């Protein structure tokens, strides 16, 4: 009976140690889809090689350690919207919030 008690505590212990191992601002705070989107875009730009995969994976980890996800998301939105054409796209290129978001990246 005592043997089963140890195993029932194991998941709790592992989850608490994983929480301590993953500091705030780490890539664990970024949604998986965002990480994959970044890595795929980075690899498309830098080549479809194993080295590019490793570099791109590492770079999103560095970004995640510096910028909280909500700031990254805002900056990424301004960046992608600034690439659109038309009169309203100027708001995403020239406004003060757009410039602040670009500066943060």
> Alpha-carbon distance 91 to 69, whole Å?
22
Residue 29: exposure state from Cβ atoms within 10 A (0-12, 13-18, ≥19): middle
The tokens for 78 are 């301004």
Per-residue pLDDT at 44: 96
In sequence order, which ranges of 22-95 are alpha helices (DSSP H)? 32-46, 50-66, 69-82, 90-94
Q: Positive or negative CA dihedral for 80, 84, 88, 94?
A: positive
Per-residue pLDDT at 6: 44
> Alpha-carbon distance 79 to 26, whole Å?
22
- At 85-95, the pLDDT tens digits run 877 777 776 77
18 φ/ψ sector (left φ>0, alpha ψ -120 to 50, else beta): alpha
- At 11-27, the pLDDT tens digits run 333 344 344 444 444 55
Q: What is the pTM of this model?
A: 0.61
pLDDT at 8 over 80: no
CB neighbourhood size of 89 (10 A): 13
72 closest CA partner among 43, 42, 30, 39: 30
């Amino acid at each position: 009976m005592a043997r089963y008690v140890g195993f029932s505590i194991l998941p709790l212990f592992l989850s608490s140690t994983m929480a301590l191992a993953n500091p705030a601002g780490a890539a664990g705070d970024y949604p998986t889809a965002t990480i994959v989107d970044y890595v795929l875009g980075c690899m498309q730009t830098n080549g479809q090689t194993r080295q590019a995969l490793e570099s791109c994976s590492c770079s999103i980890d560095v970004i995640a350690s510096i910028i909280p996800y909500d700031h990254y998301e805002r900056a990424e939105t301004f960046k992608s919207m600034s690439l659109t054409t038309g009169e309203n796209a100027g708001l995403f290129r020239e406004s003060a919030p757009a410039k602040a978001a670009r500066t943060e990246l």
